[in-house]
């Protein structure tokens, strides 16, 4: 399998991003929605990510987008500014490229972007049954910090959420401004 290259996403990548994002919507609890994403909705999301200064990265092999990753606010930092240095990641890799390095490369690049932006913590929120994603994040230095039973639902059953986090750098907290 060829080594993927990592770059910022472009509008021309939206169809592939949408297909990858939707791959398990109807069959797994990887994403807690029953509604498939559209290219138009993903386009609005990409524009929102850019205006917020949040990266959207893609892994590319040849001309094919085989995965994507991004981060956004962990919580509403305009309402709760104390969370402004914490971000929550999302990553999706095409199944035929699992265990091929694309996910690790995407996450390493995403972690570097967050670090360069001065973020302090990255959080991953993963369905309890998604052991592969939990182990993947742990291999990247994330540590489980919480299990939240029955906070979601899909397929007519309750879902448990696992929160993992990685401290991106040891730094002093910003000075108090109040």
pLDDT surpasses 90 at 91: yes
Structural domains in the chain, CATH included, are 5-167 (3.40.630.30)
Cα–Cα distance between 134 and 88 in angstroms, integer?
14
pLDDT computed for residue 93 by the predictor: 96
Once rounded to an integer, what is the mean pLDDT over residues 154-160?
A: 95
pLDDT surpasses 80 at 1: no
Cα–Cα distance between 22 and 66 in angstroms, integer?
13
Q: Return the HEC string of 25-84.
A: CCCCCCCCCCCCCCHHHHHHHHHHHHHHCCCEEEEEECCEEEEEEEEEECCCCCCCHHHC
With cut-offs at 50, 70 and 90, classify the pLDDT of residue 152.
very high
pLDDT surpasses 70 at 119: yes
With cut-offs at 50, 70 and 90, classify the pLDDT of residue 176.
confident
- In this predicted structure, which of 5-9, 20-24, 68-72, 168-172 has the lowest mean pLDDT? 168-172
With cut-offs at 50, 70 and 90, classify the pLDDT of residue 164.
very high
List, for residues 31-45, the tens digit of each pLDDT value. 888 899 999 999 999
pLDDT surpasses 90 at 175: no
pLDDT surpasses 90 at 49: yes
Share of the chain above pLDDT 90, in %: 84
Q: What is the CA radius of gyration of the chain?
A: 16
With cut-offs at 50, 70 and 90, classify the pLDDT of residue 124.
very high
């Amino acid at each position: 399998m060829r080594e993927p290259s990592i770059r910022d996403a472009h509008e021309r990548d939206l169809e592939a991003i949408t297909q990858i994002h939707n791959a398990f919507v109807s069959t797994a609890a990887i994403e807690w929605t029953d509604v498939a994403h559209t290219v138009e909705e993903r386009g609005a999301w990409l524009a929102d990510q850019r205006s917020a200064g949040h990266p959207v990265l893609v892994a590319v092999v040849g001309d094919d987008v085989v995965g994507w990753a991004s981060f956004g606010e962990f919580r509403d930092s305009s309402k709760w500014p104390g969370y402004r240095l914490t971000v929550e990641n999302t990553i999706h890799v095409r199944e035929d490229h699992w265990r091929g390095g694309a996910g690790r490369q995407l996450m390493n690049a995403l972690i570097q972007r967050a670090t360069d932006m001065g973020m302090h913590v990255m959080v991953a929120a993963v369905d309890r049954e998604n052991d592969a994603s939990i182990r993947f994040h742990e291999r990247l230095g994330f540590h489980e910090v919480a299990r939240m039973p029955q906070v979601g639902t899909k397929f007519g059953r309750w879902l448990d959420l696992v929160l993992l986090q990685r401290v991106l750098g040891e730094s002093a907290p910003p000075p108090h401004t109040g």
